[in-house]
């Protein structure tokens, strides 16, 4: 059963080790991440961002038992288990499968993770238009027709990183 866990960033490794000591090595942890490329002082810098910030997915078959959660309750680095995770197992599995299907060879989720909507505003996080806001006019197969201010242009969807506003 998958559980959603909020943790303290400083103690993530310690928390993982304690989980494995207390409930066994069959504890799986999944933390989806995305790679953002930004220009800083005319240099291209790669930054790794975790899309769920201070939350991770943790799988163990014994999470069905309240006693298992009580055993882990006071683990250093653990803030809490998100309530209601038992009721949303299908949604959690679907989300994890979507993330894993969009990962590249290095484990980073691709830009296609975000559902794009026509006439919505987005912000570039890479390329020559870094920090510029644009609006999607229309979609083609792998191209987007966009509007940046008064400038209409077409970009390749896979060449740039952007995030919704």
| pLDDT for the residue 90 | 94
- Cβ atoms of residues 139 and 118 within 8 Å: yes
| 131: containing domain | 114-164
Question: Torsion over CA of 20, 21, 26 and 30, rounded to 10 degrees?
Answer: -10
The domain spanning residue 141 has which CATH number?
2.30.30.30
Tally of domains in the chain: 2
Which phi and psi (to 5°) does residue 14 adopt?
Answer: -65, -40
d(CA 69, CA 88): 17
55 and 18 in a common domain: yes
| pLDDT per residue of the chain (165 residues) written in tens, 0 to 9 | 899 999 999 999 999 888 888 887 788 889 998 887 766 777 777 888 888 889 999 998 888 888 888 888 888 999 999 888 888 899 999 999 988 988 888 888 876 666 677 888 888 777 777 788 888 888 887 788 888 888 898 888 777 777 777
92 and 27 in a common domain: yes
78 and 145 in a common domain: no
């Amino acid at each position: 059963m998958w559980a959603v866990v909020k943790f303290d960033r400083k103690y993530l490794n310690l928390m993982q080790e304690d989980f494995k000591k207390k409930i066994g090595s069959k504890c799986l942890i999944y933390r989806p991440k995305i790679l953002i490329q930004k220009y800083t002082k005319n240099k291209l810098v790669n930054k790794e961002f975790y899309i769920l910030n201070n939350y991770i997915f943790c799988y163990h078959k014994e999470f069905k038992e309240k006693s298992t959660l009580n055993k882990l309750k006071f683990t250093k680095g653990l803030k809490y288990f998100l309530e209601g995770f038992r009721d949303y197992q299908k949604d959690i599995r679907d989300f994890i499968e979507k993330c894993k299907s969009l990962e590249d060879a290095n484990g980073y989720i691709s830009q296609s993770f975000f559902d794009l909507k026509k006439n919505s505003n987005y912000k570039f996080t890479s390329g020559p238009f870094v920090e510029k806001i644009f609006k999607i006019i229309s979609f083609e197969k792998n191209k987007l027709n966009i509007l940046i201010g008064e400038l209409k242009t077409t970009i390749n969807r896979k060449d740039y990183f952007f995030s919704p506003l």
